Homo-oligomer: A and B are copies of this chain.
Amino acid sequence: MARTAVTNHIRRLRQERTGMTQEALAQTCQVTRQTIIALEAGRYAPSLELAFRIAHALGAPLAEVFEWDPASAA
């Protein structure tokens, strides 16, 4: 259906806080580089479990990495 109401700051946090490459972040989170690319591009939202892993890898609380807009959910 639609283009998810969830946005993320993965790219910014990855670069500013960790300096990691997409590849490195992917490995840390145990997913493929493709997945990171798709998420940073906002093509879809991650599963809850992956969201937790990414936030952990970026050293930020989940809510700081991912934002949800209740309005666009109606």
Task: Mark contacts of A34-74 with chain B using CB atoms, 8 A cut-off: 1 yes-contact digit, 0 otherwise.
Answer: 00000000000111111111001000011100101010010
CB-CB nearest in chain B for A54: B48
Assembly CA distance A33 to B8 (angstroms): 29
A5 interface residue per 8 A CB criterion: yes
User: Given the complex of chains A and B, what is the CA–CA distance between A63 and B56 in angstroms?
Assistant: 13
Q: Can you report 21 residue pairs joining A to B where beta carbons are below 8 Å apart?
A: A4-B49, A5-B52, A6-B48, A45-B49, A47-B47, A47-B48, A48-B48, A48-B51, A48-B66, A48-B68, A49-B68, A49-B73, A51-B51, A52-B68, A52-B70, A53-B70, A56-B70, A61-B63, A62-B62, A62-B63, A63-B63
